[in-house]
Amino acid sequence: MADKDGLKVAKDYHLDKAFANMGSFHVKGADSLDWGMKKHLSRIFNPKTGKTVMFAFDHGYFMGSTAGLERLDLVIPPLMPYVDVLMATRGALRSCVPANNDRGIALRVTSGSSMLNDDLSHEVVAVDIEDAIRMNADCMAVQTFIGADGQLSSIDNLSKVINAGFRYSIPTLGVVAVGKEMERTDRFFKLATRILAEMGCQIVKTYYCDNFEEVVAACPVPLVIAGGKKLPEKEALTLAYQVIKGGAAGVDMGRNIFQSTHPVEMAQAVRKIVHEGLTDKEAFDFFEDASHK
């Protein structure tokens, strides 16, 4: 391991140069993966745009009943036509999501804490690979706590899931956790996203920050961006626009869709930014028109 003292500050991100190893496959860093992995990644990232709208409603895995998700059976089905991927627990999927849909599946496979704990950073792998295969998961989502008390166990969880994923060609989505004590700076996100990519994740979920383009450039696999806490719709659409402009391969949004005054129209507006190239202003105009009909 390199000596930590006297480290130079990383600065050569070559923002003017596209990722050099794209090959013919449309997903960053995935050109050398096998057919099965690529098939799953193609259900997540649209082959025409290279991007994705993931819809996260896995909050119950540690928050229990969450505002906007009180009735998964009623809330999720109307949103499904407008998103590419459903990110959820196996319990939510099996009990509340009709199987006769063709959305991609990002299966939450770690668990271990709840809102009653101060430190949320200790998790285990709670879903085995056979069940991910049975559910036809397109990726397995693992929470990772870089810089937190639970870092070692979350890296252990991540490695186990990535190893199992390689055995059966199922990609792993590494989710960068942020906590009360953890900074939300480009320095932190460059560290965390790069560690996850170098561990072998095929997709990394993180947060928007200053110098976001550098975070994207330094990460050799696609980044999808969490929405975070509920914002006014206009601001949430600006966030979606900024992350796409900054080079993210998509969003993985939860509360800013399901807690919106008009969740379906919000999902449609986000989709227009991600896949159709609308600006935040154009998407907000769409949202206003569509939600006043």
Residues near ligand 5RP, by CB under 6 A: 56, 58, 87, 143, 175, 177, 205, 226-228, 253-256
Nearest residue relative to ligand 5RP (C-beta): 254
Q: Which is nearer to ligand 5RP, 33 or 238 (CB)?
A: 238
> How many CA within 13 A on the CB side of residue 212?
19
CB 13, min distance to ligand 5RP, A: 26
CB count in 10 Å sphere of residue 9: 5
Per-residue burial over 147-185, b if 16 or more Cβ lie within 10 Å, else e, is bbebbebbbebbebbbebbbeeebbbbbbbbbeeebeee
Q: Which is nearer to ligand 5RP, 26 or 238 (CB)?
A: 238
CB 57, min distance to ligand 5RP, A: 8
287: Cβ contacts below 8 Å, ≥ 6 apart: 233, 237, 262, 265, 266, 268, 269
Is 205 tagged catalytic?
yes
CB 116, min distance to ligand 5RP, A: 17
Dihedral over alpha carbons 25, 31, 37, 40 (to 10 degrees):
-30
Q: Which is nearer to ligand 5RP, 175 or 249 (CB)?
A: 175
- 3-state helix vs strand vs coil in the chain, percent to 5: 40, 15, 45
Using CA atoms, how far apart are residues 271 and 51, in angstroms rounded to an integer?
Answer: 10
Q: Which is nearer to ligand 5RP, 67 or 74 (CB)?
A: 67
Using CA atoms, how far apart are residues 13 and 25, in angstroms rounded to an integer?
Answer: 23
CB 9, min distance to ligand 5RP, A: 28
Which of the following is catalytic: 205, 229, 234, 245? 205
CB 35, min distance to ligand 5RP, A: 28
Q: Which is nearer to ligand 5RP, 46 or 144 (CB)?
A: 144
Alpha helices by DSSP H, listed for the chain, are 35-44, 60-63, 72-79, 90-96, 129-134, 151-168, 186-199, 212-218, 233-245, 255-258, 263-276, 280-291
Q: Which residues are catalytic?
A: 205
